[in-house]
Amino acid sequence: MGTTCGLTIDPIYRYVRALVICFILLPCIQLSLGAKTRHFKWEVEYKYWSPDCIENIVMAINGQFPGPTIRAKVGDTINVELTNKLSTEGVVIHWHGIRQMGTPWADGTASISQCAINPGETYNYRFKVDKPGTYFYHGHLGMQRSAGLYGSLIVDLAEGEKEPFYYDGELNLLLSDWWHKNTHDQEIGLFTNPFRWVGESQSLLINGRGQYNCSLAAKFSSNTSISQCKLRGTEQCAPKILHVLPKKTYRLRLASATSLASLNLAIGNHKMLVVEADGNYVQPFEVDDLDIYSGESYSVLLTTNQDPSNNYWLSIGVRGRLPQTPQGLTILNYKPNSASKLPISAPPITPVWNDYNHSKAFTNKILALMGTPKPPVNHDRRIILLNTQNKINGYTKWALNNVSLVLPPTPYLGSIKYGLKNAFDQKNPPENFDSINYDVTKPPVNPNSTYGNGVYMLGFNTTVDVILQNANALNANVSEIHPWHLHGHDFWVLGYGDGKFSADKDEKKLNLKNPPLRNSAIIFPYGWTALRFVADNPGVWAFHCHIEPHLHMGMGVVFAEGVDRLSTIPSEGLTCGLTGKMFSGQKN
Ligand SMILES: O=C1O[C@H]([C@@H](O)CO)C(O)=C1O
């Protein structure tokens, strides 16, 4: 480094370079591509709200529940200045489905990509949206998604680009589940011995709206104890009516932010054409109803080709768990009919909760649209993750290969970058389980497992296979659906199967021809799911069950790749734990 007049050249040069990049080059590049930076100032706070006609508290953004919808174009930069207005807890927001290429510190995962934002503090999420599609955002700390911290994020094609399908209009549905018990109470129950499970939700919400003490469809029900809702339409719990014109095609954007529920969505008398899954185009296929698991998103095309003198139901109902929650409902209003005109028959019946053949038939229809990138033919590494429900010192947990994840106080992104070896377990977590002796059809013989926070260090640009292996839970004859979500990447879903995965017999069944690219995939009860991805995005990435209480109980792992390639990580997100000490000059 040289000096001029006693000043080092390097800082001056860097300062000038930064000015040139920020104020001249970046705006020029953005202008030439028509891309924009979209600025948002958000404040997160608790607010009284009646999502299902019963007053409760929700996590609101700028006073809204659900949070504001972000709409951007491919190539745009999103800049959310998030201020934590909660009095006593931290907060983060994860941009679900956005891969954060080059900005892993904006992924919004507490303890992984950043420190939780303290009360009163502001964090700048700045990232590019590089792929069109239907996404959403949500809290990623404790049970803040269950508390209502979520909203939609929609990325349109860049100017001049065309979708591979046509539609006249668009409707956006963000689905969620809602409990009357507050999330602090839920959370403490999960960490109590004896265990107190959160139970099934009281309501299902469509765009943050449901009806608990009445039903829009009571008059069609044989249950006389439930009354017909009398809503003016201005209530927080009044359904968001879907206004359409006859003989048109609409794109319904669906995303599930549920904390627990797997849902089935149907529209009375209408078929739907599935065209997008998790921000990737799929080979279009027609369905009467669609399963959507927590963390998934879809676009379906709906043609309003039914009797225009009627309105129709849109319903969501619980799948995969014995439902104790009434269907969520709203109305597809064929204009110019009045929106308050009820459909002439009962809402669609949700398929029986444990009809897994129905779910599998739907899931197996999801294949990549031609032109979607294909997976590498071979993998460099295969990690097999056995999903089990366990006990640790009497506490009920979930574990992967017998390790139940407890996140460390220092975000991995910082501790890996700066080589802070005391920040987390340096041992590689187990790559496999004893697949010869473990009977996935029975409760674990030895249910005890251990806490851990080790990281799967992935070779940069290597091809990684993950086989998710489901098993029996602690109680006999119980195996649950788990929807798994990967941060920082899309993966190819190579296949699903029943029983224990066997490389000999199942390998040849994997689909390398047109597997869908997604960021979420489920494991069916007693089954396995095979995924493949390329570890090409420098950062530290969570991979976990998207059922929020399950993640909180340890059902996740952490992947890291290419962290050494990141030249700088903004210190703004690393002011806690050992990185916090490091930045304040203390010894760790
Ligand atoms: O994690 C869970 O715990 C309960 C049950 O297994 C024990 O109460 C349940 O249904 C889960 O999904």
> 93 near 137, Cβ under 8 Å?
yes
* Band (18; pLDDT cuts 50, 70, 90): very low
Q: What is the mean pLDDT of residues 105-118?
A: 98
Q: State residue 431's pLDDT score.
A: 98
Report how far ligand 1's centroid is from the alpha carbon of 192 (Å).
13
- Our answer on whether the CB atom of 324 is closer than 6 Å to any ligand 1 atom is no
Q: What is the mean pLDDT of residues 457-468?
A: 98
Q: What is the mean pLDDT of residues 450-468?
A: 98
> 132 near 157, Cβ under 8 Å?
yes
Report how far ligand 1's centroid is from the alpha carbon of 199 (Å).
8
Tokens representing 393 are: 């010192």
Tens digits of residue pLDDT in 284-329: 999 999 999 999 999 999 999 999 999 999 999 999 999 999 999 9
Mean pLDDT of the chain: 94
Q: Is the pLDDT of residue 441 over 60?
A: yes
> 298 near 308, Cβ under 8 Å?
no
Q: State residue 586's pLDDT score.
A: 61
Q: Output the residue whose Cα is nearest ligand 1's atom 9.
A: 197
Q: State residue 6's pLDDT score.
A: 35
Q: What is the mean pLDDT of residues 393-419?
A: 98
Q: State residue 5's pLDDT score.
A: 34
- Our answer on whether the CB atom of 473 is closer than 6 Å to any ligand 1 atom is yes
Q: Is the pLDDT of residue 587 over 70?
A: no
Tens digits of residue pLDDT in 212-253: 999 999 999 988 899 999 999 999 999 999 999 999 999 999
Three-class DSSP category at 106? helix
Q: State residue 223's pLDDT score.
A: 87
- For residue 388, the cross-strand partners are 399
- For residue 521, the cross-strand partners are 484
Q: Is the pLDDT of residue 1 over 90?
A: no
Percent of the chain beyond pLDDT 90? 93
Of 524 and 18, which is predicted with more confidence? 524
Task: Give the global pTM.
Answer: 0.94
Q: Output the residue whose Cα is nearest ligand 1's atom 7.
A: 197
Q: Distance (Å, rounded) from C-alpha 405 to C-alpha 556?
A: 6
Q: State residue 106's pLDDT score.
A: 98
Nearest Cα to Cα of residue 311 among 264, 246, 250, 235: 246
* Band (429; pLDDT cuts 50, 70, 90): very high
Q: What is the mean pLDDT of residues 367-396?
A: 98
- Our answer on whether the CB atom of 197 is closer than 6 Å to any ligand 1 atom is yes
Q: State residue 56's pLDDT score.
A: 98
- Out of 324, 396, 479, 552, mutate this one to test ligand 1's pocket (max ligand atoms within 8 Å of CB): namely 396
- Our answer on whether the CB atom of 465 is closer than 6 Å to any ligand 1 atom is no
